[in-house]
Amino acid sequence: MAARIIDGKQVAADIRAELKEEIAQLKTRGIVPGLGVILVGDDPASKSYVTAKERACEEIGIYSDDNRLPAGISQADLMALVQRMNDDPRINGILVQLPLPRHLNEAEVLLTIDPDKDVDGFHPVNVGKMVVGEKAFLPCTPHGVVQLLLRSGVTIDGAHVVIVGRSNIVGKPLANMLIQKSPTGNATVTVCHTRTKDLAYYTRQADILIAAAGRPGTITADMVREGVAVIDVGVNRVEDATKKAGFRLVGDVEFESVKEKASLITPVPGGVGPMTITMLLYNTVESAQRTAGLDVD
Ligand code: GUN
């Protein structure tokens, strides 16, 4: 079977078009959703993510308050900026790009963000609400993965989902979202990680395989069964002298061989990537709607 390739850019464009309409509705009430963005230091990958987020805001009519801070900023100054954004009524969502430089305490910064503005869904209050199935801001990459599956017609209810990777940003929240007793959950979930013995034993049992290990070549064709739906969350830079930048992006899955067995597969780039930013915009719009007292579900 040769796989249908899931076009993440198209799904993201569809959701952004829906959001544009909701923003237009908010603007008739004099409300412009606002996102506060904080980037500390000049890690090239983080810089390009943040630039893409700011551009996406501009494109759909979200006001963004962009803050590029020197790598040496103190914990107190960084927390003071977050606090100012908590208190600023123009800002509905706050994004602190991770990872932070090592001298900064990331957990303490995340705790400072008002949970009602935590559009990344990383604050323990939102994590806890998600786990118990209460309404919460869902973290953007796992939320994007679920939307990609649903909008590609994949049945999650009753499926065996195997997740490779247990990060706080992707693997752990995704497992929690997919086991919820809800129409967008109801899956049986297996989470594999670096200490899993015989990874292929588990991946071969997946109806839906989600690779979020952060290592190229983690999933090869012999590790999947015919007809599996594959979502590749990996974004890895590999050296490539033929490219102007000197590198190209690859996922965690060996795309060319796995696509011959899968029913559906996401490419890298152009799969999950565009969804992550889109769900950040989604959470920011939802936050503005909640602040305005509009009923959102
Ligand atoms: N670094 C990598 N992914 C993310 C993300 O989704 N949000 C933030 N804030 N930082 C990240």
Which among 13, 258, 290, 282 has a CA at the least distance from the CA of 141? 282
Q: Are residues 103 and 151 in the same domain?
A: no
Asked if residue 252 belongs to a domain, the reply is yes
Q: Are residues 103 and 207 in the same domain?
A: no
Which among 227, 224, 201 has a CA at the least distance from the CA of 211? 224
Check if 54 has its Cβ closer than 6 Å to any atom of ligand 1: no
Length of the chain as a residue count: 297
160 CA from centroid of ligand 1 (Å): 27
Q: Are residues 72 and 147 in the same domain?
A: no
Is residue 209 within a helix (H) or strand (E), and if so which, with residue range?
Answer: strand 208-211
Asked if residue 182 belongs to a domain, the reply is yes
For 210-247, how does the pLDDT look when each residue is reduced to its tens digit (9 = 90+)? 999 999 999 999 999 999 999 999 999 999 999 999 99
Q: Are residues 186 and 238 in the same domain?
A: yes
- Put simply, whether the predicted model's pTM sits higher than 0.85 gets the answer yes
Are 174 and 166 spatial neighbours (Cβ–Cβ below 8 Å)? Answer: no
For 36-78, how does the pLDDT look when each residue is reduced to its tens digit (9 = 90+)? 999 999 999 999 999 999 999 999 999 999 999 999 999 999 9
Residues 238, 146: Cα–Cα separation, whole Å: 27
98 CA from centroid of ligand 1 (Å): 5
CATH of residue 198: 3.40.50.720
Environment class of residue 111 by beta-carbon count within 10 Å: exposed (0-12), middle (13-18) or buried (19+)?
A: middle
**Can 66 be counted among the known catalytic residues?**
no
What percent of the chain shows pLDDT beyond 70?
A: 99
Structural domain count, the chain:
2
Q: Are residues 154 and 258 in the same domain?
A: yes
Token pair belonging to 28: 């008739």
Other beta carbons within 10 angstroms of residue 83's beta carbon come to: 13
Asked if residue 22 belongs to a domain, the reply is no
Are 268 and 255 spatial neighbours (Cβ–Cβ below 8 Å)? Answer: yes
Q: Are residues 199 and 257 in the same domain?
A: yes
Q: Are residues 86 and 164 in the same domain?
A: no
Residue 297 binned pLDDT confidence (cut-offs 50, 70, 90): low
Asked if residue 2 belongs to a domain, the reply is no
- Mean pLDDT value across residues 202-206: 99
Kindly name the residue from 118, 120, 207, 232 that is annotated as catalytic: 120
Q: What pLDDT score was predicted for residue 196? A: 98
**Can 147 be counted among the known catalytic residues?**
no
261 CA from centroid of ligand 1 (Å): 31
Residue 1 binned pLDDT confidence (cut-offs 50, 70, 90): confident
Q: Are residues 144 and 266 in the same domain?
A: yes
Environment class of residue 144 by beta-carbon count within 10 Å: exposed (0-12), middle (13-18) or buried (19+)?
A: buried
Q: Are residues 172 and 82 in the same domain?
A: no
**Can 25 be counted among the known catalytic residues?**
no
For 85-124, how does the pLDDT look when each residue is reduced to its tens digit (9 = 90+)? 999 999 999 999 999 999 999 999 999 999 999 999 999 9
Q: What pLDDT score was predicted for residue 292? A: 93
For a ligand 1 pocket test, name from 35, 39, 46, 49 the mutation site with the most ligand atoms within 8 angstroms of its C-beta. 49
The DSSP line for 37-103 is: EEEES--HHHHHHHHHHHHHHHHHT-EEEEEEE-TT--HHHHHHHHHHHHH-TT--EEEE-SSPPTT
CATH of residue 40: 3.40.50.10860
Q: Are residues 52 and 109 in the same domain?
A: yes
For 255-295, how does the pLDDT look when each residue is reduced to its tens digit (9 = 90+)? 999 999 999 999 999 999 999 999 999 999 999 999 999 86
- Mean pLDDT value across residues 125-145: 98
Find the domain containing 243 and state its range.
140-274
3 state DSSP class of 271: coil
Q: Are residues 251 and 163 in the same domain?
A: yes
For 158-195, how does the pLDDT look when each residue is reduced to its tens digit (9 = 90+)? 999 999 999 999 999 999 999 999 999 999 999 999 99
Check if 294 has its Cβ closer than 6 Å to any atom of ligand 1: no
Residue 2 binned pLDDT confidence (cut-offs 50, 70, 90): confident
Which among 272, 270, 230 has a CA at the least distance from the CA of 253? 230
